[in-house]
């Protein structure tokens, strides 16, 4: 049988067609899940869901809007029957140095990457409880672990490190409800977030630091999310899985 048969999976930031969220949505659907794509543009989210198949849905949701997260999850419960899996994937980055981080940029980066994880989890957890449990996986980054990835600024590192703490605390709090919470920390994955932002010289330099000698593909991260969403990881909570080709071995 399929790993996610009968499960409903909510995935934030999955409308970007070449992104990690969409690759995760496709892989989860291949394994039997029904997908709810949440993204800023509801039409783009619905179109992305339709590309996967007619059973899947897309909803407008800005993860920085608490009421909006609740509305989107309520719609998922009404139309798809419940929520079993939440992938907190939505995120943005900005290449800027410490002394150049202005208050608005700090707020924007922290709000989407960190506050959004709280708000969408707050909306989904009660729905998971009514199903007797669930699995949440959150998007962090190698940037949280090594103090900067390649393109994210210090505020991005701080936000993604915050995700690790928030997820571990939620893992502790909701373990008794049979809700597991884990994180992934990807290295450099080729998506629109970094497309056209890496020169050929920079690319050679980056590859020299990656034992597997290639940049990551969205499906590399989707595979880790599938593991964390499925019963294969039934006794794993509060964990962090590196998906970085060996860029950081610790
Ligand atoms: P992407 O830009 O293709 O996808 C990000 C998605 O998030 C987009 O669909 C965007 O519309 C959506 N989004 C942005 N703000 C939102 C908001 N406020 N509410 C809802 N949705 C919102 O990029 P990606 O590389 O697929 O990024 C996915 C996640 O992976 C992000 O959290 C990113 O920080 C993280 N990440 C990426 C890499 C990488 O190298 N690509 C590495 C580590 C972590």
92 near 108, Cβ under 8 Å? yes
**Which tens digits make up the pLDDT trace of 190-231?**
999 888 888 889 999 999 999 999 999 999 999 999 999 999
Which atom, in ligand 1's list, is nearest to the CA of 189? 40
What are 160-188's pLDDT values in tens digits?
A: 999 999 999 999 999 999 999 999 999 99
Count of the separate structural domains present in the chain:
1
> The tokens of 93 are what?
């980055």
Q: What is the pLDDT of residues 118-148, one digit of tens each?
A: 999 999 999 999 999 999 999 999 999 999 8
- Residue 231 inside a domain? The answer is yes
Q: How far is CA 194 from CA 4, 162, 191, 222, in A?
A: 30, 22, 6, 18
- For residue 106, the enclosing domain spans 8-188+219-243
Does residue 250 lie within any of the structural domains?
A: no
Residue 203 lies in a domain: no
Q: Is the residue at 166 inside a domain?
A: yes
Q: Domain of 228: which CATH number?
A: 3.40.50.720
pTM for the full model? Answer: 0.98
CA distance 185 to 240: 7
Residue 107: inside a domain, yes or no? yes
Whether 228 maps to a domain, the answer reads: yes
Q: Which is the closest atom of ligand 1 to the Cα of 156?
A: 34
Tally of residues, the chain = 250
Closest protein CA for atom 31 of ligand 1: 91
Task: Using alpha carbons, select from 17, 51, 30, 44 the residue that is nearest to residue 9.
Answer: 30
Residue 201 lies in a domain: no
**How open is the CA angle 235-2-167, to the nearest 5 degrees?**
35
197 in any annotated domain: no
Tell me how far the alpha carbon of residue 89 lies from the centroid of ligand 1, in angstroms.
6
Q: From ligand 1's centre to the CA of 168, what distance in Å? A: 21
ipTM field: 0.99
Whose CA is closest to atom 33 on ligand 1? 91
Give the pLDDT score at 150: 80
């Amino acid at each position: 049988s399929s790993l996610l048969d009968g499960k409903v999976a909510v995935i934030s930031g999955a409308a970007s067609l070449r992104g990690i969220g969409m690759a995760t949505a496709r892989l989860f659907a291949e394994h039997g899940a029904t997908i709810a794509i949440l993204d800023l543009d509801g039409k783009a989210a619905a179109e992305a869901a339709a590309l996967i198949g007619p059973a899947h849905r897309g909803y407008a949701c800005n993860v920085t809007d608490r009421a909006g997260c609740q509305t989107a999850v309520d719609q998922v419960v009404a139309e798809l029957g419940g929520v079993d899996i939440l992938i907190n994937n939505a995120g943005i980055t900005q290449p800027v140095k410490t002394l150049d981080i202005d208050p608005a940029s700090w707020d924007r980066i922290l709000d989407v990457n960190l506050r959004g994880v709280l708000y969408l989890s707050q909306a989904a957890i009660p729905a998971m409880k009514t199903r007797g449990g669930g699995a949440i996986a959150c998007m962090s980054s190698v940037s949280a672990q090594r103090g900067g990835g390649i393109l994210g600024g210090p505020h991005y590192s701080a936000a993604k490190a915050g995700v690790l703490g928030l997820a571990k605390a939620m893992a502790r709090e909701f373990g008794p409800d049979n809700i597991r919470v884990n994180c992934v920390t990807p290295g450099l994955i080729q998506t629109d977030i970094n497309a056209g932002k890496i020169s050929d010289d920079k690319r050679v330099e980056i590859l020299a630091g990656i034992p597997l000698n290639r940049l990551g593909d969205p499906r590399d991260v989707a595979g880790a999310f599938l593991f964390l969403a499925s019963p294969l990881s039934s006794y794993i909570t509060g964990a962090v899985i590196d998906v970085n080709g060996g860029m950081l071995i610790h």
